[in-house]
Amino acid sequence: MGKPTGFLDYHRETGKVLPPKIRISNFHEFRIPLNKEKQKLQGARCMACGVPFCQSGAMIAGMASGCPLHNLIPETNDLVYTGNWKQAYNRLSKTHSFPEFTSRVCPALCEAACTCNLDGEPVATKENERAIIETAFEEGWVVPQKPNVRTGKTVAIVGSGPAGLAAAQQLNRRGHSVTVYERSDRFGGLLRYGIPNMKLEKCVIDRRIRLMEEEGVCFVPNVNIGVDVSAKELQEKYDRVILACGASNPRDIKVPGRDAKGIFFAVDFLKRVTKSLLDSNFEKVPYELIGGKHVLVIGGGDTGNDCVGTSIRLGAKSVKQLEMMPKLPMERLESNPWPQWPRVLKTDYGQEEAIAVFGSDPRIYQTTVTEFIPDKKGKVCKAKIVKLSGQKDEKTGRMMMVPVEGTEEVIPADLVLIAAGFLGCEKYVADAFGVAVNARNNVDTKPDCYDTSVQGVFAAGDMHRGQSLVVWAIREGREAAKVVDESLMGYTNL
């Protein structure tokens, strides 16, 4: 620890953020990093704890506490403080495949578990991580890591999201010949089309894909395995197959009027917007999708927030966001102690922008939709909503959110975006390979394992774990690569 009193000497400082009314004029990233000298002082705030909860990745009360990748956080923070950027990059690379992704989109589980967070503000580990990887790219330290020897073994990976990319990177560096199949026209999966450009510039993904191609990974776009190419063909052609197709089966809202026009699943909408921007090299913004409409977003999670921010950029007349659960407290409750994940109210960028543009928080808590009302042309124009109340189910003992009589209300809704989560993997992929799925419709494996019920076929990421974070997908991809490598070679050094 280079600065024992750093957490006392320096206050937490993060990069500047462009004001909402300025950043909504485009789809570019709006966070401006600190300069190197200020970032070094943030590294000095790390206490180098004897027990670094920040890198534990432990499950506490059903929630992750600390980094699932077990990044060597106190060590990298100290290297940032001392200005040893190259060594910091080398240390971070021991455990992490893509710091450039998580340092932009991760909710920073590491910071929530930081000991400084117990009675103060946590170390800015997320921004330290971004400074490390971006410095490494600028200085030319991130170079293709080509294997010296090829093993002669072949692996097919279905899906190019964070899990598939992490598995591909590790297995290729081990010396196996890896081919990644993607059904979309561009690579990145959720990173590409599920996360808006203002959170993760797509050039950041392209930069990493180019590097992996130079390392020897083969990428094949526009091929839908199970439709364009059969599972049998893939299994016959490759020694091993990893399924990393994500949890892309969206949860629907089954209420009267659901068949009205103008109701979309959130990820489909976000993909359409991003694809339009990329296809036109950002010269064409698809204002026609939203311009002048009353937008209703159903779902209070990250995807719902992304829909709010995207709708505002496309000229929405108003945006409302329904959240079934109660509003979280501003500060931790005694029942939610550190180092548990803090269940406190978070106002994300999309909500900040709605407040700036429309004057109020778009979220309506403990509320759901009971009916979509179409106009004479069959297009949705209104939605009937109702307040909810938490009640314990006498049979199961579980808390249920039930409608409160007399609280019905009709609100304008010219376009509805359903961001209510996902129900596991898409059935056709699992059926094509004949792999077993569990009750949540995720590919079934033994606990902490990645091999499926079909020999030679493995699963990783959201398809295996269920809807989760990018950092968990990267961990799953890396762990699955170890298992596949061992099955091919009889041992693994990954």
| 116 lies in the same domain as 160 | no
Residue 127 falls inside a structural domain: yes
How much of the chain is in helix, strand and coil states, percent to nearest 5? 35, 20, 45
CATH of the domain at 73: 1.10.1060.10
Domain region containing 466? 154-248+423-489
Name the nearest CA neighbour of 155 among 432, 477, 491, 417.
477
Residue 99 falls inside a structural domain: yes
Q: What angle do CA 126, 188, 301 make, to 5 degrees?
A: 60
How many structural domains is the chain composed of? Answer: 3
pTM for the model stands at 0.96
Dihedrals φ, ψ of 338, to 5°?
-65, 145
Q: Provide DSSP, 318-350.
A: EEEEEESSPPPPSS--TTS-TTSPP------HH
Name the nearest CA neighbour of 95 among 203, 169, 178, 188.
169
Residue 147 falls inside a structural domain: no
305-331 tens-digit pLDDT: 999 999 999 999 999 999 999 999 999
Residue 103 falls inside a structural domain: yes
Domain boundary among 418, 438, 455: 418
| 271 lies in the same domain as 240 | no
Residue 208 falls inside a structural domain: yes
SS3 of residue 267 by DSSP: helix
CATH of the domain at 349: 3.50.50.60
| 411 lies in the same domain as 436 | no
| 238 lies in the same domain as 287 | no
Residue 35 falls inside a structural domain: yes
**Alpha-carbon distances, residue 430 vs 164, 168, 244 (angstroms):** 16, 20, 11
| 68 lies in the same domain as 192 | no
| 135 lies in the same domain as 14 | yes
The pLDDT of residue 244 is 98
Domain boundary among 91, 114, 139: 139
53-73 tens-digit pLDDT: 999 999 998 889 999 999 999
477: Cα within 13 Å, side-chain hemisphere: 31
Residue 361 falls inside a structural domain: yes
218-253 tens-digit pLDDT: 999 999 999 999 999 999 999 999 999 999 999 999
- Tokens 């976000």 found at: 270
| 42 lies in the same domain as 166 | no
Dihedrals φ, ψ of 426, to 5°?
-75, 135
The pLDDT of residue 2 is 72
Q: What angle do CA 133, 139, 140 make, to 5 degrees?
A: 90
Show the low-confidence residues of the chain (pLDDT under 70): 1
| 287 lies in the same domain as 244 | no
Residue 473 falls inside a structural domain: yes
The pLDDT of residue 139 is 98
The pLDDT of residue 398 is 85
| 412 lies in the same domain as 273 | yes
386: Cα within 13 Å, side-chain hemisphere: 14
Q: Is the four-CA dihedral 244, 102, 136, 56 of positive or negative sign?
A: negative
Domain boundary among 403, 418, 433: 418
The pLDDT of residue 1 is 65
43: Cα within 13 Å, side-chain hemisphere: 28
- CA 373 – CA 375 distance, rounded (Å): 7
| 63 lies in the same domain as 177 | no
| 38 lies in the same domain as 104 | yes
| 267 lies in the same domain as 384 | yes
